Amino acid sequence: MKIMVIGYSSSGKSTFAKRLASIHQLPILHIDRIFFGPNWMERDKAVVESEIRDFMKKDDWIIDGLYRKMATERFEVADQIYLFDFNRFKCLYGAIVRRIKHHNQNRDSIADGCKERLNFSFIWWILFEGRTRKTKELLKQYQKQYASKMIVFKNRKQANEHLTSIGYQGSFKYE
């Protein structure tokens, strides 16, 4: 089984992907883990793409994150796509909770050396820059093109209900 988890920043994609991985016993790739190097420095795109392609060679996987340049390749081979289409304020709330929980720590879904932060530029990304008209249109296009294998969540309750329906028995406490 090949699964993609995509959506807006701080919507809960990584936590959802980890829970899916625990249900299906699948390897998981958090794109943020390979996209960023220490101190949130973007890594060489050719290296990132190579690492994604290598991971995609596995028979089964979960990939958390979009990385648009190679998205179509992953959409084509994915058996299931989950889209987190939360409103911007829910995502900002998620970023604030995550910042409090992981204050000055490194989450397991991000590259080593990237301490959790919530600065103005990231808040701006969550509220505006990551939600451009082009991004919204692209997500709508993906929803139409891959409708047969895409499930869209508008909030955490929907995502949690889906996890429960496929056998997740763990806590829904924020990770």
How many CB atoms are closer than 10 A to CB 62?
Answer: 24
Looking at residues 77-83, what average pLDDT do you find?
97
Please check the confidence at residue 68 and state whether its pLDDT lies above 90: no
Which pLDDT band, with edges at 50, 70 and 90, does 142 fall under? very high
**What tokens were used for 19?**
């829970």
Please check the confidence at residue 143 and state whether its pLDDT lies above 60: yes
Q: Using one digit for the tens of pLDDT, what is the confidence trace for 108-132?
A: 888 888 888 899 999 999 999 999 9
**What tokens were used for 124?**
């701006």
Which pLDDT band, with edges at 50, 70 and 90, does 82 fall under? very high
pLDDT of residue 73: 86
**What tokens were used for 59?**
């028979």
- CA-to-CA distance for 60 and 4, rounded, in angstroms? 11
For residue 95, give the DSSP letter. Answer: H
Within-domain flag for 78:
yes
CATH number of the domain bearing residue 81: 3.40.50.300
pLDDT of residue 174: 63
Q: What percent of the chain has pLDDT over 70?
A: 98
- CA-to-CA distance for 23 and 143, rounded, in angstroms? 25
Within-domain flag for 174:
no
Within-domain flag for 49:
yes
For the CA atoms of 14, 16, 18, 19, the dihedral, rounded to the nearest 10 degrees, stands at 170
Looking at residues 147-159, what average pLDDT do you find?
96
Please check the confidence at residue 175 and state whether its pLDDT lies above 70: no
Q: Tokens 């090949």, residue?
A: 2
- CA-to-CA distance for 103 and 170, rounded, in angstroms? 24
Within-domain flag for 37:
yes
- CA-to-CA distance for 42 and 110, rounded, in angstroms? 12
How many CB atoms are closer than 10 A to CB 31?
Answer: 23
Residue type, 16: F
Domain that holds residue 43: 2-165
| Tally of structural domains, the chain | 1
Residue type, 1: M
**What tokens were used for 80?**
């299931």
Within-domain flag for 59:
yes
pLDDT of residue 105: 84
pLDDT of residue 141: 93
Within-domain flag for 98:
yes
Lowest model confidence (mean pLDDT) among 8-12, 58-62, 171-175: 171-175
Write the DSSP string, 29-82.
EEHHHHHEEGGGEEPPHHHHHHHHHHHHTSSSEEEES--GGGHHHHHHH-SEEE
